[in-house]
């Protein structure tokens, strides 16, 4: 555990030091997020924070390479090269999009290329999460892995709409995934529990810890496309790597990890981004517009429009991410007969906090319309 915590600290310090430098560069180069009707911010904010996050992750990779405990991970040269190439693709495509606002299909091509780099490096989906059906065909493994990377990148990008939201959700989900993958690896091999998924989550957590103070409302810098794609890449690569770890369990003989956790946790960690992505696609398709077209219908927009401040909306969505991700992880440590009722009550409370202002606002609109029927008719 100490080796991973060292990487968290190193990556956090590197990101915290590099973020203000990228902020100054973004201001000087005028790489701003434009002021659009759907946005919450009301003044230009530089958006090269993801570059600092990616650079910090690379620093963490380099430091991890000299830690004796982690040498088993770095012995797989192909996997390391694939990840480094994928991070390089994220940097190039993300910076280009932050500066020149690329067309959606160009960004998609870059995401596919990053996913291919990961898959061709040997980090592939080796078993389907439902029933853990082995995927023996290499071409199918590559296709499924690329799909997972692209899906996760876009899910994180969709949820990145309020100050501190995406970085906070990634920090909460990444920390839960870190604990889970560490525990899973200890279950598989108590003598050598160095693990790629745990390493990636340590780097992700460190980058988010270093970046988040600069991104809280009012944000002084945004992560931009680089940050969203980087978080999605690390999350997806870790989730894919877990499928290989589960295959290593002889006959699915878990000792202290429930057998359903490899299915539940990756979904739980990404529940909020994936839900927002699915709702956005359905909403835009129903309107006859492109699923990639931007609008002001995301979950965070609904909360702000319902009366929450930006900080309150972010805190509420963090709460949802925490309850779902850490609620799933807690099943490894606490009897489910205790966890599930407590989690149900907590989720009900979060649901009330989420829906109450929206219901009150609709009620106020109806009451106002009933009190002034003439004005509505004149309009």
For residue 195, say whether it is annotated as part of any ligand binding site.
Answer: no
Please report, for residues 93, 110, 151, 298, 342, the alpha-carbon distance to residue 158 in angstroms, rounded to integers and kept in the order given.
Answer: 17, 17, 11, 8, 30
Secondary structure of 166-184 in HEC code, one letter for each residue: HHHHHHHHHHHHHHHHHHH
Q: How far apart are CA 186 and CA 192, in angstroms?
A: 8
Q: How far apart are CA 344 and CA 327, in angstroms?
A: 10
Q: Is 174 within 8 Å of 209 (Cβ atoms)?
A: no
Q: Which two structure tokens, joined as six digits, stand for 23? A: 């902020």
pLDDT in tens, the chain (379 residues): 889 999 999 999 999 999 999 999 999 998 887 665 555 556 789 999 999 999 999 999 999 999 999 998 999 899 999 999 999 999 999 999 999 989 989 999 999 999 999 999 999 988 766 555 677 789 999 999 999 999 899 888 878 778 898 999 999 999 999 998 888 777 766 666 788 999 999 999 999 999 999 999 889 999 999 999 999 999 999 988 877 665 555 444 444 445 445 556 666 666 666 677 777 777 777 777 766 666 565 666 677 766 678 888 888 889 988 998 898 888 877 888 999 999 999 999 988 888 877 666 667 667 666 676 665 545 4
Whole-number Å distance between alpha carbons of 240 and 249 = 16
This prediction has a pTM of 0.85
Phi/psi at 111 (5° precision): -65, -40
Q: How large is the angle between the packed helices 49-64 and 196-215, nearest 10 degrees?
A: 150
């Amino acid at each position: 555990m100490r080796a991973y915590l060292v990487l968290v600290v190193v990556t956090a310090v590197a990101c915290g030091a590099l973020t203000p430098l990228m902020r100054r560069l973004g201001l000087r180069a005028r790489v701003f997020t434009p002021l659009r009707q759907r946005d919450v911010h009301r003044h230009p904010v530089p958006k090269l924070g993801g570059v600092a996050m990616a650079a910090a992750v690379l620093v963490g990779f380099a430091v991890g390479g000299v830690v004796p405990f982690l040498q088993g991970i770095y012995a797989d040269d192909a996997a390391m090269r694939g990840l480094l190439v994928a991070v390089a693709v994220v940097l190039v495509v993300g910076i280009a999009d932050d500066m020149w606002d690329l067309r959606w299909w160009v960004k998609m091509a870059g995401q596919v290329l990053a996913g291919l780099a990961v898959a061709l490096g040997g980090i592939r989906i080796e078993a389907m999460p439902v029933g853990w059906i082995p995927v023996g065909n290499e071409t199918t493994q590559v296709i499924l892995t690329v799909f997972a990377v692209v899906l996760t990148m876009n899910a994180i990008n969709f949820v990145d709409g309020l100050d501190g939201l995406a970085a906070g959700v990634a920090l909460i989900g990444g920390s839960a995934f870190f604990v889970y993958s560490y525990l899973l690896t200890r279950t598989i091999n108590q003598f050598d529990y160095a693990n790629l998924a745990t390493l990636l989550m340590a780097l992700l957590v460190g980058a988010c810890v270093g970046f988040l103070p600069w991104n809280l409302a009012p944000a002084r810098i945004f992560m931009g496309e680089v940050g969203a794609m980087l978080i999605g890449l690390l999350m997806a690569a870790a989730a894919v790597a877990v499928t290989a770890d589960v295959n290593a369990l002889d006959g699915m003989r878990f000792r202290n990890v429930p057998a359903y956790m490899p299915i539940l946790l990756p979904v739980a960690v990404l529940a909020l981004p994936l839900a927002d992505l699915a709702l956005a696609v359905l909403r835009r398709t129903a309107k006859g517009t492109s699923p990639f077209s931007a609008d002001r219908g995301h979950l965070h927009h609904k909360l702000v429009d319902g009366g929450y401040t930006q900080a309150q909306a972010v805190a509420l969505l963090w709460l949802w991410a925490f309850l779902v991700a850490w609620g799933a992880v807690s099943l490894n440590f606490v009897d489910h007969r205790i966890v599930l009722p407590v989690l149900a009550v907590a989720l009900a409370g979060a649901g009330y906090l989420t829906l109450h202002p929206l219901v009150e606002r609709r009620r106020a609109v109806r009451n106002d319309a009933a009190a002034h029927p003439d004005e509505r008719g004149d309009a």
